[in-house]
Amino acid sequence: MPQDTTIPIVQHYLAILDEQREQTFSVLREMPEERLWQRPEPKEWCIGEIINHNVALFQSVFPLVRLSWRFFRWTGHLLRTRAYKTEIEDPYRKDKFPHWAGFLWKPKYTPTNPVSLERLYDEACQVHRIVRDFYEGKDESMLGNVFVFDPLFGFLNLILVLRLGVYHDQLHYEDVIELVYR
């Protein structure tokens, strides 16, 4: 989705987050629901697990974002005239990215503990609503100058954290669509 330069970058990223979720669930609604919990191969996640993994990642990372804002927004205020990055290369597309690390955010729903597609959708919407509620109305120049540390990505400002979340969802939504048509 090309960015409309009249829309602030945070709003653009939030729109992508919503758009890719809605497109994916639109495809899933056309599929028989029992396919949600059919693993493509032994020890590979099924569609439902992949969707729930996306939610689990946001649920585990987002408290750190809130904590950083709570305790360090004063630095964002002091540095708000300083330039900041709003784009980062998609690390999930790099060959050297450790995709095996996904086990850290294991899905709570599995073929032995399934839920409905609507439950998965509601939870994805809920976590994205929490993200939207946090980011909306905040000064981008402050968000761009408050940082969190990630052991894999290093120091990232809060706009880049959102961007990484969009990339992560995108990667797995593509996996889901591939499984639907497999």
**Tokens found for residue 112:** 């032995």
Residue 60: inside a domain: yes
Residue 4: inside a domain: no
Using alpha carbons, select from 24, 26, 180, 52 the residue that is nearest to residue 119.
Answer: 52
Q: What is the 3-state secondary structure (H, E, C) of 56-107?
A: HHHHHHHHHHHHHHHHHHHHHHHCCCCCCCCCCCCHHHCCCCCHHHHHHHCC
Ranges of residues in the chain with a pLDDT under 50 are none
Find the domain containing 29 and state its range: 9-180
Residue 1: inside a domain: no
Tell me which amino acid residue 87 is: E
Q: pLDDT value at position 153?
A: 83
Our count of domains for the chain comes to 1
Q: pLDDT value at position 95?
A: 76
Q: pLDDT value at position 56?
A: 93
Q: What is the CATH number of the domain that holds 62?
A: 1.20.120.450
Residue 58: inside a domain: yes
Residue 97: inside a domain: yes
Total-model pTM? 0.90
Beta strands per DSSP E along the chain: 147-150, 154-157
Residue 2: inside a domain: no
Straight-line distance from the first to the last Cα atom of the chain, in angstroms, rounded to the nearest whole number = 25
Q: Phi and psi dihedrals of 23, rounded to 5? A: -60, -45
Residue 132: inside a domain: yes
Residue 3: inside a domain: no
